[in-house]
Amino acid sequence: MKIEELFVNKIDRYIDPVIKIEDEKHSLQELEEYVVTDKIAENLIKFFEKFNETAVHERKDIGVWISGFFGSGKSHFAKILGYLLENKQIDGRTARDIFKNRIKGLENEMDIKGSLQETLKIKAIPSCIRLNLSMTSFQKKKTISKTIYKQFLKYQGLSDDLHIAELEQTLYPRENTRNSKIR
């Protein structure tokens, strides 16, 4: 038997070494191959408990800050959360259905599935905006709110130049911009 025969997936396929938040062309592969460790499972449960709690007890001061060392998986974790919240169809299956295979056999599998099921009841998730706020965003002394707003404009399909975006907003009807219900 060869070593490559021990693996489910081909070991000589290309795997992008950098997870890009805005890139969704590898979403199926990312969901099918995401490794859920005990710590990741704990953080998923913690996130979804808090997320579901905010739907029951409406709050306006909620946000998620994911921090860690370079290469620790922050962007990948955030991207997986985004997929799970949006629950888009990917290759004929929902993101959650694809992901459920990644948590099979985990000690807290039922807790994660329960938390995911609860989020299905929340109707206010038309899309999830994933922002990658790196330190390079703040080099020109931009505030975090301005950086987030610029990324939101870009997500909407508008310029991240505030003056141009303002002009674009007056020119384009809301229906023509991406996810106009958010605006």
pLDDT per position as a tens digit, 116-159: 888 776 655 545 555 555 554 555 556 777 777 777 777 778 88
CA quadruple 50, 183, 133, 95: dihedral positive or negative?
positive
DSSP class of residue 180? G
The tokens describing 38, both together, are 């005990």
Residue 89 scores a pLDDT above 80: yes
Of residues 140 and 78, more confidence is placed in: 78
Residue 96 scores a pLDDT above 60: yes
Which pLDDT value is given to residue 128?
A: 56
Return left, alpha or beta for 14; rule: phi > 0 is left, psi -120 to 50 is alpha, else beta.
beta
Name every residue whose Cβ is closer than 8 Å to that of residue 117 and which is 6 or more positions away in sequence.
none
